[in-house]
């Protein structure tokens, strides 16, 4: 048994610890904490005024981050030193294995884990990006390294915090057994998504920044966590997809391997139009779009496909390759505008469906009287 104190005994023991608290010290401590928050509020108010000036526009965000960090850990350290001579800080709250857990040990564990979490975020935000830029790593691989580094630091911090309080890690085998039973009975989906998240981060069939299609939903991979993946659609909607979906279902990844993509622009012209002229105009549209933005590629060369003799039109398809699949919508729209303008200049008619209705007269019926 990890907990060696019965609930009744635990309640009685905590009541005894509660009686040892000197409330005058607690009130004075809360007063000091309130003063710290008051100073923080004054400094932030001054920084907000300074940030309105162009020279100090980044001061507010930087100072806010520093103050949040200093306030959180400053209060925890101040609490440890302020109550260092108080008996209740080091009195036993409960037993975990062979270790007596006190309020001091709980605060120390929180301090170690939170410091590790903050340090990991600072390193992944300000230090590692310079390393990625130096070795020309793409966004997806950089994100994978960030996640693995963060999870590794947190795992080490938890192990260090547990050993710091003197906890024998073998005592946690009971929790491991309970977790195994939970996975067997009711946590299959969570375990599956967790393992799938690890596979996605290492195998990388999708990565952050990829343009994917899921059930006719087009979006970019915004975040890959251990349980789910966030897809940001082209309409700025965020869709949360379980990680196991990407390993079990068919997913179209437009950014996988080669970012280039072939774009097909269908167009119909009236019967009687010179087909060679239509071909020249469509190729001219592709050439002009290449010169305009460079998204349309000339290698592979654009191609005009005479696809069919339609009911009301001669059907053509302009096939071009674009450099970035993320720009397929804007490029197709630009080509349509350009084709419509060139057709108007060259007197090429774009027909609309027509139906001829023939009314057949009925023979007169002679009436007999």
pLDDT at residue number 68: 78
Q: Which residues of 8-32 are buried (b: 16+ CB within 10 A; e: fewer)?
A: eeeeeeeeebeeeeeeeeeeeeeee
pLDDT at residue number 224: 86
Tell me, yes or no, whether 266 and 231 share the same domain.
no
For residues 120 and 341, what is the distance between their CA atoms, to the nearest angstrom?
A: 55
Q: Which class for 193: exposed (0-12), middle (13-18), buried (19 or more C-beta within 10 A)?
A: buried
Decide: 233 and 212 in contact? Cβ < 8 Å: no
Tell me, yes or no, whether 47 and 148 share the same domain.
yes
- Contacts of residue 189, defined as CB under 8 A and 6 or more positions apart, other chains included, come to 242, 244
Give the count of beta carbons closer than 10 Å to the beta carbon of residue 224.
Answer: 22
Which of helix, strand or coil describes residue 48? Answer: helix
Taking only Cα atoms into account, the Rg of the chain, rounded to an integer number of angstroms, comes to 34
**Which residues make beta-bridge pairs with 224?**
229
Residue where a domain stops, chosen among 231, 253, 275: 253
The per-residue pLDDT for range 129-186, each reduced to its tens digit, is 888 888 777 777 788 788 888 888 888 888 887 777 666 666 556 556 656 666 565 5
Which of helix, strand or coil describes residue 319? Answer: strand
- Identify whether 359 is part of a domain: no
- Contacts of residue 230, defined as CB under 8 A and 6 or more positions apart, other chains included, come to 221, 222, 223, 224, 238, 239, 240, 241
DSSP for 97-124, please give it: TTEEEEHHHHHHHHHHHHHHHHHHHHII
Helices (H), 221-327: 243-248, 275-293
Tell me, yes or no, whether 20 and 137 share the same domain.
yes
Tell me, yes or no, whether 130 and 16 share the same domain.
yes
pLDDT at residue number 324: 86
Tell me, yes or no, whether 54 and 117 share the same domain.
yes
> Whole domain around residue 230: which residue ranges?
189-253
- Beta-sheet strands, E only, within 171-290: 211-214, 217-224, 228-233, 238-242, 252-253, 261-269
Closest CA to 273 of 320, 343, 337: 343
For residues 368 and 279, what is the distance between their CA atoms, to the nearest angstrom?
A: 66
DSSP element (H, E) containing 1:
none
Decide: 293 and 330 in contact? Cβ < 8 Å: no
pLDDT at residue number 124: 86
- Identify whether 35 is part of a domain: yes
Tell me, yes or no, whether 242 and 304 share the same domain.
no
**Which residues make beta-bridge pairs with 319?**
264, 303
Tell me, yes or no, whether 265 and 329 share the same domain.
yes
Number of domains in the chain: 3
pLDDT at residue number 26: 76
- Identify whether 1 is part of a domain: no
Decide: 282 and 235 in contact? Cβ < 8 Å: no
Decide: 235 and 225 in contact? Cβ < 8 Å: no
The per-residue pLDDT for range 249-287, each reduced to its tens digit, is 888 888 887 788 899 999 999 999 999 999 999 999 999
User: Does the predicted TM-score (pTM) go above 0.85?
Assistant: no
Residue where a domain stops, chosen among 253, 282, 305: 253
- Identify whether 351 is part of a domain: no
- Identify whether 202 is part of a domain: yes
pLDDT at residue number 115: 84
Tell me, yes or no, whether 229 and 267 share the same domain.
no
Closest CA to 225 of 252, 249, 182, 190: 190
- Identify whether 362 is part of a domain: no
DSSP assignment letter at 302: P
Q: Report the half-sphere exposure of 307 (CA within 13 A, side-chain side).
A: 16
- Identify whether 215 is part of a domain: yes
Tell me, yes or no, whether 39 and 150 share the same domain.
yes
**Encoded tokens for 281:** 């105009």
Domain with residue 284: its CATH number is: 3.30.70.100
For residues 222 and 226, what is the distance between their CA atoms, to the nearest angstrom?
A: 14
pLDDT at residue number 16: 59
Domain with residue 239: its CATH number is: 2.30.30.60
- Identify whether 314 is part of a domain: yes
For residues 296 and 179, what is the distance between their CA atoms, to the nearest angstrom?
A: 54
Tell me, yes or no, whether 161 and 14 share the same domain.
yes
Tell me, yes or no, whether 200 and 88 share the same domain.
no
Residue where a domain stops, chosen among 227, 253, 279: 253
| Under-70 pLDDT residues of the chain | 1-23, 53-62, 87-88, 93-99, 165-187, 354-358, 360-369
Which of helix, strand or coil describes residue 126? Answer: helix
Decide: 271 and 313 in contact? Cβ < 8 Å: yes
Tell me, yes or no, whether 144 and 23 share the same domain.
yes
């Amino acid at each position: 048994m990890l907990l060696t104190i019965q609930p009744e005994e635990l309640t009685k023991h905590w009541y005894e610890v509660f009686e040892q608290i000197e409330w005058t010290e607690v009130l004075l401590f809360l007063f000091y904490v309130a003063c710290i928050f008051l100073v923080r509020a004054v400094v932030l108010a001054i920084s907000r005024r300074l940030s309105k000036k162009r020279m100090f526009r980044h001061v507010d965000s930087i100072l806010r981050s520093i103050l949040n960090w200093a306030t959180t850990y400053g209060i925890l350290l101040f609490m440890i030193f302020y109550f260092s001579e108080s008996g209740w800080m080091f009195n036993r709250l409960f037993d975990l294995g062979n270790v007596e857990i006190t309020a001091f040990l709980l605060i120390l564990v929180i301090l170690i884990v939170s410091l590790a979490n903050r340090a990991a975020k600072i390193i992944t935000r300000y230090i590692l990006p310079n390393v990625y830029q130096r070795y020309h790593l793409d966004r997806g691989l950089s994100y994978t390294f960030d996640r693995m580094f963060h999870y590794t630091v947190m795992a080490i911090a938890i192990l260090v915090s547990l050993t710091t309080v003197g906890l024998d890690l073998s005592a946690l085998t009971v929790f491991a057994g309970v977790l195994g039973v939970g996975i067997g009975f009711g946590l299959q989906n969570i375990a599956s998504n967790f393992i799938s998240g690890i596979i996605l981060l290492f195998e990388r069939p999708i990565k952050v920044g990829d343009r994917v299609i899921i059930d006719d939903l087009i979006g970019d991979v915004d975040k890959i966590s251990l349980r789910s993946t966030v897809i940001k659609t082209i309409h700025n909607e965020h869709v949360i997809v379980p990680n196991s979906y990407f390993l079990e279902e068919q997913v179209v990844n437009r950014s996988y391997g080669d970012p280039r993509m072939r774009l097909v622009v269908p167009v119909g012209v009236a019967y009687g139009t010179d087909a060679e002229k239509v071909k020249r105009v469509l190729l001219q549209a592709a050439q002009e779009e290449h010169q305009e933005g460079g998204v349309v590629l000339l290698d592979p060369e654009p191609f005009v496909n005479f696809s069919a003799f339609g009911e009301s039109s001669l059907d053509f398809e302009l096939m071009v390759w674009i450099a970035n699949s993320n720009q397929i919508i804007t490029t197709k729209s630009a080509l349509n505008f350009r084709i419509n303008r060139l057709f108007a200049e060259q007197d090429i008619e774009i027909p609309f469906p027509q139906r001829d209705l023939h009314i057949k007269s009925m023979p007169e019926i002679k009436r007999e009287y």
